[in-house]
Structure 1
């Protein structure tokens, strides 16, 4: 990631502001499931397999991609999975073509045509940096990938319940889906340039620009189908501060900031000094000052000066896709250092980002009221030899 400057245009997004967005009730916010042991850095079924070196073109990269494929096949069989392949030489490949493979997972309403569905795209890169040797990239971007997988699994039942409850004659109006892009080759192999970075993103954006839907379709190309490109990167360190980078998607940033504020008010943000478990340990129960992740909800239109961080969104933004970039500024201290590993993740913060992205996704998809209460675990009282529900 590098900082860059560009002039932003309102583009076609102004015509899309009528897009519905329904806030979740407090009751639904409380029902959003956490990842539990699935985010254990050693044995967690979602996160642990990603916490390995996974440089593009290596066995580690292929193993992580297979982990993603297996996850969707096992837990989300209703999602459509595809792989986008490309090759390129790199500054360290000595003229050899290196493969880059993007994974695309899509969940559209039943019975809808490919070109008639608008989508929220949840995006992260899954490759790790070529140097230093053994680099894991836990924040960059193993944890964001794990967050997205958990969000997808957590909203699936609510999506299915909503669509099942929608009368067939109303499904024509329910042309809104979710797409996950796990991109390969974001990292530079030598030094960041336009040609040594964003390998998978550049190839996918270029291909989708000329992959046309049927002439009668609502959306001309897969790029046109993306209503919002929500890119997660460098998440998982304690105390992040994420600016609002783009004027045309500041409204979406404000919705996410509002969800964060409400989660904090309900005591559901684990890294908060006012989380239930921390409040219980304090003699003085007076709430402490919150330090929100999303710090610029009140940012005015005249404060957008065109600065942004170069990342996987750039080839898509250049083709008119609207971007909400969730990346801290400043970057985490572990950025591109060997210490960016599982042990240096702040797991409360990882879970908080997961819940926040889930809340935003659920609001975008208007899933309020469709989440079931989390299942309670049965425990055994050794003395009474009977089951109890805590």
Structure 2
């Protein structure tokens, strides 16, 4: 990764469509109640570095094309098939030579898991897209890559499991109440992409990096949906591409890089503040710490947009996809000290700050639940209903929520 990127201008029509979608999303974006935030499912032992069912299987060397990579990919597939059986799983395959493969083709496999409203055709669904890469560095030998990016993968898995039942309840309620076809804004789904081949095998270049991302972006840009679809290609159906990387070290520093998605960055920052104020962050239980989102008080006109970090979002950004890059990179200190084992500190499970990892999983859950408008459908704790919950039974609260939503 380095501190410069380039992109291409998208066609004017695509810009207009994207701006319209984001304006509609902003108008319909309903905040989660305090009680819902306090009731978000917690990871329990998911992130135990030795036995945690989500994280520990990823904490192995997993260079693209090796048995470790295949084992982690199988872990992801098993998770969705057993824990989230309503999700659709796809694999996108490609091959490429690398500077160390002696002319041999190395396989790269991306996993895509998605869930859409049951009544909606695939080409009519805009999807919140949560992304992390799962490969680890070729060198040094035995590199684990806990923040880079085993922990982000596990965070996403936890978040998707946490909102899955609420998605079912919401969509069942919509069909029962007859609202399924009332608003195109409700034709929105969610998808996860675990990308292969982010890391350079020798030195970061345009061709020795982002192997899986480059292949998938090109493939989705050329794959055309049916003629009457709302979205022409799978690429254009990405409502927001949220890339998580280098997360799991204590006191992260997250900057905002793109003016067109700064509003979403601020939504994420606001959720962090609310969770912290509600004392839901383990990492700030003993010491308050600093807010993670450094640019939360800035407007989209104030952020620095001419510099960025080379990462898996680049092939998608070049094709006009809206990006929210959530990466720990302090403007003065740079990446976490464990990055690529620099400074002699290994990027392994022992050097994760597990409290911070758990807090990230809670924050990602909250962001996804809020984006998918799951207030009133997420399970609540036994703390008693808040004013926002109206002390109603779940089925009545859900019906009222749907009535309120369709008035927008």
TM-score by length of structure 1 reads 0.90
Match of 1:18 among 16, 24, 33: 24
Match of 2:86 among 57, 78, 81: 78
Residue 406 of structure 2: aligned partner = none
Match of 1:334 among 333, 338, 351: 338
- What pairs up with 1:286-301 in 2 under 5 angstroms? 290-300=289-299, 301=301
Task: Report the Cα distance in structure 1 between the residues aligned to 2:247 and 2:266, rounded to whole angstroms.
Answer: 19
Residue 146 of structure 1: aligned partner = 154
Task: Tell me whether 1:263 sits opposite 2:272 in the alignment.
Answer: no
* C-alpha contact 1:6 1:306 (8 A) present in aligned 2: no
Task: Report the Cα distance in structure 2 between the residues aligned to 1:5 and 1:99, rounded to whole angstroms.
Answer: 26
Residue 353 of structure 1: aligned partner = 360
Residue 225 of structure 1: aligned partner = 237
Task: Tell me whether 1:170 sits opposite 2:182 in the alignment.
Answer: no
Task: Report the Cα distance in structure 2 between the residues aligned to 1:171 and 1:223, rounded to whole angstroms.
Answer: 24
* Closer, same or farther: CA 348–96 of 1 in aligned 2, 3 Å: same
Q: Following TM superposition, by how much is the alpha carbon of 1:373 offset from its aligned partner in structure 2, in angstroms?
A: 3.2
Task: Report the Cα distance in structure 2 between the residues aligned to 1:203 and 1:9, rounded to whole angstroms.
Answer: 20
Point out 4+ residue stretches in structure 1 off by more than 6 angstroms: 7-10
Residue 47 of structure 2: aligned partner = 39
Task: Report the Cα distance in structure 2 between the residues aligned to 1:347 and 1:290, rounded to whole angstroms.
Answer: 15
* C-alpha contact 1:186 1:201 (8 A) present in aligned 2: yes
Unaligned runs of 5+ in 1: 279-287, 377-390
Task: Report the Cα distance in structure 2 between the residues aligned to 1:167 and 1:261, rounded to whole angstroms.
Answer: 35
Task: Report the Cα distance in structure 2 between the residues aligned to 1:328 and 1:130, rounded to whole angstroms.
Answer: 22
* Closer, same or farther: CA 322–305 of 1 in aligned 2, 3 Å: closer
TM-score by length of structure 2 reads 0.86
* Closer, same or farther: CA 333–372 of 1 in aligned 2, 3 Å: same
Q: Following TM superposition, by how much is the alpha carbon of 1:303 offset from its aligned partner in structure 2, in angstroms?
A: 3.4
Task: Tell me whether 1:55 sits opposite 2:63 in the alignment.
Answer: yes
* C-alpha contact 1:37 1:44 (8 A) present in aligned 2: yes
Residue 285 of structure 1: aligned partner = none
Residue 259 of structure 2: aligned partner = 247
* Closer, same or farther: CA 289–41 of 1 in aligned 2, 3 Å: closer
* C-alpha contact 1:186 1:311 (8 A) present in aligned 2: yes
Task: Report the Cα distance in structure 2 between the residues aligned to 1:363 and 1:269, rounded to whole angstroms.
Answer: 18
Task: Report the Cα distance in structure 2 between the residues aligned to 1:147 and 1:163, rounded to whole angstroms.
Answer: 24
* C-alpha contact 1:210 1:221 (8 A) present in aligned 2: yes
Task: Report the Cα distance in structure 2 between the residues aligned to 1:9 and 1:254, rounded to whole angstroms.
Answer: 25
- What pairs up with 1:296-375 in 2 under 5 angstroms? 296-300=295-299, 301-329=301-329, 330-337=334-341, 339-373=346-380
RMSD: 1.7
Structure having the higher helix fraction is 2
Task: Report the Cα distance in structure 2 between the residues aligned to 1:231 and 1:178, rounded to whole angstroms.
Answer: 14
